[in-house]
Amino acid sequence: MNGPDSIVIVGGGHAGAQLCASLATSHQGVRIDLVCEEADLPYHRPPLSKSYVKHPEETPQLHRSAAWYAQAGIRVHQADPAIAIDRHARTLRLRSGATLHYQWLVLATGTRARQLPHLHADLDNVLVLRNAADALRLREQLPAMQHLMVLGGGFIGLEVAATAQALGKQVRVLEAAPRLLMRSASAELAAHVLQSHRASGIEVQLGATVDDFRIEANRLVSLRVNGVQQPVDQLLLGIGALPEMTLAEVAGLECGNGIAVDASMRTSDPAILAIGDCALFPGLRASGALRLESVQNANDQAKVAAATMLDQPQTYQAVPWFWTEQGSLRIQMAGLLPKNGSCWRRPGKDETSFSLLHYEQGELRCVESVNAPADHMGARKLLEAGVSPAAERACDPALALRSLATPDG
Ligand SMILES: Cc1cc2nc3c(=O)[nH]c(=O)nc-3n(C[C@H](O)[C@H](O)[C@H](O)COP(=O)(O)OP(=O)(O)OC[C@H]3O[C@@H](n4cnc5c(N)ncnc54)[C@H](O)[C@@H]3O)c2cc1C
């Protein structure tokens, strides 16, 4: 078996960092370059909307130290983004002018925050949250802020809303859809989240459409929401993220809502792989192409990409899982929500904890747990084992666990 001689990874996020870790143990003599747009070494993104915003002394949590990369023989190019791929010559050009030759190229470029035309983070009091620089800006502006308006009731917007509220700020969330977490959680879970945030003092306006806005001296002064002017002190845009696929598109790789890959993470050019938030991959059970934004997906796709390059191909079929922390809610999700499923509520150890089990045609597809980590871990095991206990039995923890041993359960 011939191993690769040069691997270039574009993007020092979760997927890029995990790929370095997977290759470090087995690469033996391969030249590895990690090309980073950001100045920091790869760091954990989830704390940025959670503990980092609350604690002024906290620094980004690195995946690995500079010494680790040096010892693993991985060359890290910091603050030097890739700007062009030459597929014919198999080279990658960096902004500094450096050119790297590759045998394998891996695109792990993640996403960028969605912004609105004329209403973006160049304004003094408008923020987005994708990276450590954004989080630092938010943290520095928080002390002087009286009121935070959050546009978008998705995970990141709600996490920041809960944090700001806990720090004593007045918080208002504007969501255009008729409910929160429209793209990512069930209606049952969204209703609980709404009730919990409102009870803690966060104002949430659903069906809120921004018709107009006023900007003076590079500051957003007000938003007109459903025809009514609302003054703005500080605004966080939490309206989702777009896959970063400029390099791939310019290089002529097949793209849709992400860089198209097969189950081994190969793009339409077999020498180029894509992983993590930017990758559009074949979903399980003919569910169509999927793009997921989660740490689990980034880590597991990186492991599959490493196997592909080391000539030990695997098929990506990991059970998706995700978590979010919003005030007193620790929400964990395993599996994918079915389009037309039935939902069972399993009570937890007290009134603040429960799980929602989503079934489709008798098969367990997804479990959403609120303050119930044991249920979440059990759900992941059941979904990984492909075991679907009958709904009534799954609502009993002892029976659900027993059904792991008896797959016909
Ligand atoms: C604030 C926040 C909180 C989150 N919380 C959670 C959570 O609680 N649970 C969870 O599961 N997920 C969470 N996520 C999502 C999770 O962090 C992402 O799914 C994960 O980071 C994806 O990893 P990635 O490597 O694909 O992309 P990223 O981690 O986004 O990394 C992509 C990197 O590529 C770089 N890049 C882009 N273009 C270039 C280029 N041309 N040249 C060089 N570098 C380039 C970017 O600068 C970036 O550093 C959160 C995300 C954010 C932003």
Assess contact for 61 and 44: CB atoms under 8 A.
yes
Of the candidates 143, 88, 110, 90, the one whose C-alpha atom is nearest the C-alpha of residue 10 is 110
356: domain CATH number is 3.30.390.30
- Whether 254 maps to a domain, the answer reads yes
Q: Cβ–Cβ contacts within 10 Å for residue 26, how many?
A: 13
- The pLDDT, as a whole number, for residue 407 is 38
- The pLDDT, as a whole number, for residue 394 is 62
> How many whole angstroms separate alpha carbon 322 and alpha carbon 332?
6
Ligand 1 contact via 11 beta carbon (within 6 Å):
yes
- The pLDDT, as a whole number, for residue 1 is 44
Instruction: Dump the DSSP string for 282-337.
Output: EPSTT--EE---SHHHHHHHHHHHHHHHTT------PPPEEEEEETTEEEEEEE--
Kindly state whether residues 302 and 351 are assigned to the same domain. Answer: no
User: Which of 188, 206, 237 is the endpoint of a domain?
Assistant: 237
* Structural domain for 335, as ranges: 328-405
294: domain CATH number is 3.50.50.60
- Whether 314 maps to a domain, the answer reads no
Region of 301 please: left (phi>0), alpha (psi -120 to 50) or beta.
alpha
Token pair for 154: 């998705």
Of the candidates 210, 165, 163, 155, the one whose C-alpha atom is nearest the C-alpha of residue 52 is 163
> How many whole angstroms separate alpha carbon 305 and alpha carbon 310?
9
Kindly state whether residues 193 and 249 are assigned to the same domain. Answer: no
Assess contact for 19 and 110: CB atoms under 8 A.
no
The secondary structure of residue 116, as a DSSP letter, is B
Q: Checking DSSP bridges between strand 99-101 and strand 91-94, what pairing results, if any? A: antiparallel
- The pLDDT, as a whole number, for residue 405 is 41
- The pLDDT, as a whole number, for residue 408 is 36
- The pLDDT, as a whole number, for residue 395 is 62
Ligand 1 contact via 279 beta carbon (within 6 Å):
no
Ligand 1 contact via 300 beta carbon (within 6 Å):
no
| Sequence-ordered alpha helix ranges (H) in 55-131 | 66-71
Kindly state whether residues 247 and 150 are assigned to the same domain. Answer: no
Ligand 1 contact via 156 beta carbon (within 6 Å):
yes
Protein residue with least CA distance to atom 9, ligand 1? 323
- Whether 321 maps to a domain, the answer reads no
C-alpha distances out from residue 78 to 99, 122, 303, 339, Å: 15, 24, 23, 42
Q: How many domains in the chain?
A: 3
Kindly state whether residues 137 and 190 are assigned to the same domain. Answer: yes
Q: Across the 409 residues of the chain, what is the mean pLDDT of every consecutive 10-residue run? A: 82 98 84 97 97 95 98 96 98 98 98 91 95 97 96 97 96 98 96 98 97 95 96 97 98 98 97 98 81 98 96 92 97 95 91 93 94 94 82 59 42
- The pLDDT, as a whole number, for residue 283 is 83
Protein residue with least CA distance to atom 38, ligand 1? 109
Longest CA pairwise span in the chain (Å): 67
User: Which of 259, 281, 309 is the endpoint of a domain?
Assistant: 309
The secondary structure of residue 46, as a DSSP letter, is G
Ligand 1 contact via 94 beta carbon (within 6 Å):
no
- Whether 49 maps to a domain, the answer reads yes
- The pLDDT, as a whole number, for residue 400 is 60
Kindly state whether residues 248 and 301 are assigned to the same domain. Answer: yes
